[in-house]
A and B are shown apart, each in its own frame.
Chain A
Amino acid sequence: MVAGPFGIDPLAWLVLRLLVAVVLALFLILNGALLLIYLERKIQAAMQDRIGPYHVGPFGLLQTLADALKLIAKEDFRAGQTDRAFFIAAPALVFSPMLASFVVLPFGPGIVGADLNIGLLYLAMLGSMGVLGIVIAGWASNNKYSLVGGLRSAGQLISYEVPGILSLVTAVLLVGSLSMVRITEAQPGPFTNVFIIPLAFVTYFIAALAETNRTPFDLPEAESELVAGYLTEYSGMRWGTMLALTEYGNVTVVCSIMTTLWFGGWQGPGIDSGPVTGPLLGLLWFTLKTYTFILVFMWIRATLPRLRIDQLMNLCWKVLIPLALLNLSVTAVLLIAFPGTKLPVAIANWVLLAVFLLGVPMVQQRRLRGIRARMRRDVAGATAAS
């Protein structure tokens, strides 16, 4: 009989380990959501020249905790014509894939729930599962706004999954592994993947914004058109689970993916310093990098207006998918053609990125010129007629 770690029976250890991982992930999600909502409100307040929450606790730190307690204490309310089973199941269907994603995130050297050799595929798979819960939520609410929100969300998430996964595959080609730990270990130096495949990072960043329903892609819950989209009929902790926990959990997951794939994950100075300080420093670097991206997400939310639905689909199908596909094929060809060096891939990627960044304003200006010329013609025609 083989003894597990700490001399525990292996069968018991299997169950115990799972329990510990789930409890830790839950702890992380709950506290992360509290912290992120507080940060979001404070940062938006700072950007809009307000103070933000300041009354509850020092610097308003306990405000989100009070909000969470209010949500938990709320009456368990369900509108009369909603579909009972599906209405209750939907928040769980949205929440559990997000919870499961935390298993493969490499928080530090040796700090990972499970080092799956298909880790990234696993994350992509869980990302696609969340759509199901949102569609069910929209349908079960028996409300036009909810239904339109749910359908919009399904269209948006399925569309933006394509450029997202294509960008992930580009990074995987470079590293040659799907394991999150091995991807991290493959980027020890200061020249992490973002310097080699910046375009894949940009396309993934845009797709990630869309997949987490963040501004400027928060159409499923556009309050000016759809009340609150698929969340309209939800209140209390069901609303809290779907919006607060899941949205901020998903933001954490996609930012962790960006950190791991393009910015070297927990790699940083001092991670080899010792058996205790190394993992702790790794954890620190990982957290700092991830929170930097989360702050950028919040910054974008405070600055950019929301897209229209046709603009959203145009951006995905006419710009991002062709670009990501081109990037993937160019990277694959160059990696096969020049084995051993990543310089050609880097050059091609930077050129493509420059074309993308310069091309978007040029195309936009041409479109605007066309619209202005047409309007001028119409006005001239109207004055000539009168």
Chain B
Amino acid sequence: MSLDIVGPLLFGLLAVLIVGAGLGVVLADRITTSALLMAFTFLNMAGMFVLLGAETIAAFQILIYVGAITVLILYGVMFTPQAPRAYGLFFQKQTTPGALIAAVAALPVMVVAFAFRDAASGPPRGGDLLPLASSLFTDFAFPFEVASVLLLAAMIGAIVLVKRE
């Protein structure tokens, strides 16, 4: 028994958990359950990133998606009045089209993924913050700035929406 089998084993476990929790998000009949399962999916995704040697990305994944976005979704859910109808969500009746759309969306991803099957894997480089930061501010400065402008626009939009009354 050596350390080599631990990686694939963990990968398999995480993959099953991600897909299972993702299905749970869509199929659960209560929105709070869905939100928690989504947080669980994000956590498992972070585990995947750690497995790939990208601990920084994993940490940001949890910091932003679990710590902020899921909490904001829950916040939204709790401020929404519970309708007197049953807990079932209306789009649950659309299982077949939903599954079809998911399959169509997954197809190109799988094709791309399998195209890299024989590619030589480089050493993991996401662990350190310095290369990430320097590439963000040199090679990818333009997309980075565009993203920040987008966030600014979203923030101004939110403020305008709230101030309207």
Q: Which residues of A contact B (CB under 8 A)?
A: 1, 10-11, 14, 83, 86, 89, 116-118, 121-122, 124-125, 127-129, 131-132, 135-136, 138-139, 147, 150-151, 154-155, 158, 161, 178
Contact = CB atoms under 8 A, between A and B. Distances in A.
A132 B3 CA distance: 34
Interface of B: 1-3, 6, 32, 36, 39, 55-56, 59-60, 62-63, 66-68, 70-72, 74-75, 77-79, 127-129
B74 A125 contact: no
Contacts of B56: 118, 121
Nearest to B43: A129
B1 A154 contact: no
A178 B129 contact: yes
B71 A11 contact: no
Chain B contact surface mostly: helix
A160 to B, nearest CB: 13
A124 B127 CA distance: 16
8 nearest CB pairs, A to B: A128-B67, A125-B63, A121-B59, A125-B62, A125-B59, A135-B74, A131-B71, A128-B63
A119 to B, nearest CB: 10
Contacts of A121: 56, 59-60, 63, 129
Given A131-B71, A132-B39, A136-B74, A118 B59 contact: yes
Contact of B3 (A11, A118, A124, A135): A11
Nearest to B72: A158
B59 A151 contact: no
Contact of B78 (A86, A124, A128, A151): A151
A116 B55 CA distance: 9
A155 B6 CA distance: 40
A88 to B, nearest CB: 13
B59 A11 contact: no
Contacts, number: 78
B127 A117 contact: yes
A11 B4 CA distance: 10
Contacts of A161: 67
Contact of B75 (A14, A89, A127, A154): A154
A147 B39 contact: no
A129 B67 contact: yes
Contacts of B68: 128, 158
Contacts of A155: 75
Contacts of A132: 36, 39, 66-67, 70-71, 74
Contacts of B74: 132, 135-136, 139, 154
A275 B160 CA distance: 62
Contacts of A154: 71, 74-75
Contact of A118 (B36, B55, B77): B55
Given A125-B63, A139-B32, 14 more contacts: A11-B6, A89-B36, A116-B55, A117-B127, A125-B59, A128-B62, A132-B39, A132-B71, A135-B78, A150-B78, A151-B75, A151-B79, A154-B75, A155-B75
Contacts of B6: 11
A135 B129 contact: no
A116 B58 CA distance: 13
A165 B136 CA distance: 20
Nearest to A127: B67
Contacts of A118: 55-56, 59, 127, 129
B32 A86 contact: yes
5 contacts: A11-B1, A128-B68, A129-B67, A135-B75, A154-B71
Contacts of B71: 131-132, 135, 154, 158
Contact of B36 (A14, A136, A178): A136
A293 B56 CA distance: 29
A127 B75 CA distance: 18
Given A11-B3, A132-B71, A178-B129, A122 B59 contact: yes
A147 B82 CA distance: 14
B61 to A, nearest CB: 9
Contacts of B3: 10-11, 14
A129 B40 CA distance: 11
Nearest to B39: A132
